Amino acid sequence: MSTSDDRRPLVDGRFQLISRLGSGGMGTVWRARDIALHRDVALKEVRPPDPVVEEATPGLGAQLRERAVREARALARLSNPHVVTIHHIVEPQDGSHPWIVMELVEGRSMYDRLAEGPMPVPDVLTLGRQVLSALRAAHAAGIQHRDVKPANVLLRPDGSAVLTDFGIAVFSEATSRLTSTGDLIGSPEFIAPERVRGEEGNPASDLWSLGMLLYVAAEGHHPLRRATSLATVVAVLDDPIPVPVRSGALAPVLTQLLVRDPALRPDGARLEELLAAAEVEAEARHPGAGAAAPPGPYVAPYPHPAYGPPTVPSPGHPSPSGGFGPPVPPPTSPSRPSLPSRPRRRVTTLAVSLALAAAAVVGVVNLLPGGDGRETGAKGGTTPSASAGGRTPTPGTTAPTATTVPAAGGTLLTTARVRTVIEAFRKASGTTTMKELTIYENYALADIPTRPGAKTYDAYEYRDGVARKTGPGGTIDADSPDEQPLDMAAMPWDSLPALMKRGERELKVENPTLRYVIVDRWTFNEDRPTLRFYLTNDYRAVGYLAADTGGKVVSTYAAS
């Protein structure tokens, strides 16, 4: 790299670095001056911002260089006012990191805008149509973005949106060879559930990310954000999505878009129609209202609504019903979007790897605390649930069935109370045969076949002495031994107190804040029925003991 007359660094003898605009996992973006054309540009320096990361990850530099070239080629194929324009790519002859020369978008990112709180619904709808325009242009060219999130949407001074950072885009000529097992491809909060499962090649995945972005923009918080990256990833896989309360005319669009089966989402053309109709409806409801938030309760925003940790709503802004408020506990809404038919247990290793990669750690881990993703968060707290008749089902769903049993005080993690929970599920569903049972200290979750021998299952919840069906669960893979249901009443519950006592003594989890039990056919016990007791704490330490049907401990994982 040479220098200009005023000693500023020059890239390719032409682009004068002025100031750094930001950094991320794919490199650093600079404001630069094109001294040949006398204009300011954005210059992306493609290398890890932390040299330690590069040294600890062999081949990372080469991978980033290849991704940079791919990004340049992807963007060059697009011509759309809402896609950032690429001008040039610099590939140094010495093999050092490349530079991408792009349009400099004056203004700020949507991420920065959301730090101020939610956006008015009309503005969200306009932004949604613009980002969708960019995605449809990309999809028509065979390109998938894979990382649609607020930080990658820039806002020009006139408010128009520009989609940028196609650095991890996939296009038809080159796909999975740039993704090694365990890499995080996309941001946990906005990645589509099927991509977490390793499924690629579907533009509908970008539309899920867009839907989540619009939800955050209108509602002022992320519905699946949890206390850790790992918990967020598994929440994306399985947790119910609270019904929007501030989204106005946008709410029905989000309901159709944020379903976990990509085949059920509207395609780009249909989504454009839905957003256009919602714009008309929003204007009819609030003529000329572009700056006012829609009516409805408001949750005090996070330090950053798109990503930051939850805060307790202020007294002036009480948490509304339906799962809003501090989102660390799993939402209590009965709404449960359709799940893909892929076995959840098979994604354990990938989900953990994705979460660790988000913290700049790349690898494959064979442990997923909880496995099911519906955890209570760092403190293990829960929000008070509604009474049996106090919940309003999502449009298009049936009201949950409920069976009331005497509530037992204290933790559910005792032999007698676990049996009470199983009996409650039996009364609600007609069986004690379940695909999976997860019991926390304050509530329990179960996946129960829809009928004997069925290949589908429903999701059930036990809370405050009430067992209820919360919605469809998914499909049971007949060819997967770890998917097959088992009789939960036949498990060695008499050994639970001793198992928990041993776990507290041996698992080396200091000051545990969450205790829970999972029962299923565990892959790491040759798909046999297994009871696992977990401990975790606020510092993400985790340990478990796994016992077979005779109560014998067959596996132990202690916190390091």
pLDDT digits (tens, 9 = 90+) for 168-220: 555 444 433 333 334 445 578 899 999 988 887 789 999 999 999 999 999 98
DSSP secondary structure, 32-66, as one string: EEETTTTEEEEEEE-S-SSHHHHHHSTTHHHHHHH
Segment 510-523 shows an average pLDDT of 89
Residue-wise pLDDT tens digits, 31-40: 889 888 888 9
Calculate Rg over the CA atoms of the chain: 25
Domain with CATH 3.30.200.20 in the chain: 2-102
Average pLDDT value over all residues in the chain: 73
Lowest mean pLDDT among 15-19, 149-153, 171-175, 286-290: 171-175
CB neighbours of 536 closer than 8 A, spacing ≥ 6?
Answer: 369, 509, 512, 513, 514, 542
Q: 2-102 in CATH: which number?
A: 3.30.200.20
**H or E element: which one contains 241?**
none
CA gap 425, 405 in Å, rounded: 10
Give the pLDDT of residue 12. 78
DSSP assigned state of 174: B
Report the candidate in 148, 125, 151, 124 with the shortest Cα–Cα distance to residue 138.
148
The angle subtended at Cα 161 by Cα 160 and Cα 166, nearest 5°, is 155
- Nearest alpha-carbon partner for 311 in 321, 322, 325, 297: 325
Judged by phi (left if over 0) then psi (alpha if -120 to 50, else beta), residue 32 lies in beta
Residue partners of 316: CB distance under 8 A and separation at least 6:
none
Do the Cβ atoms of 152 and 195 come closer than 8 Å?
no
Residues that are catalytic: 147
Are residues 359 and 418 in contact, defined by beta-carbon separation less than 8 angstroms?
Answer: no
Asked whether the beta carbons of 113 and 127 are under 8 A apart, the reply is no
CATH 1.10.510.10 domain span(s) along the chain: 108-293+300-310+322-347
Pick the CATH number of 108-293+300-310+322-347 from 1.10.10.10, 1.10.510.10, 1.10.10.1100, 3.40.50.150: 1.10.510.10
pLDDT, tens only, 299-349: 434 446 665 443 333 222 322 222 222 233 333 333 333 323 333 333 333
Our measurement of the distance from residue 256's CA atom to the centroid of its chain's CA atoms, rounded to an integer in Å, reads: 18
Highest mean pLDDT (candidates 80-84, 210-214, 241-245, 313-317): 210-214
Copy the structure tokens of residue 186: 């996309």
- Written as six digits, the tokens of 421 are 């929970």
pLDDT above 60: residue 526: yes
Least confident of 1-10, 122-131, 273-282, 371-380: 371-380
By residue count, the chain amounts to: 560
Range with the lowest mean pLDDT among 67-71, 272-276, 304-308, 427-431?
304-308
Mean pLDDT of 91-111: 80
pLDDT band at 117 (very low <50, low <70, confident <90, very high): confident
DSSP-assigned letter for residue 319: P
Identify which of 184, 477, 181, 508 has the alpha carbon closest to the alpha carbon of residue 339: 477
Q: Is the pLDDT of residue 521 over 80?
A: yes
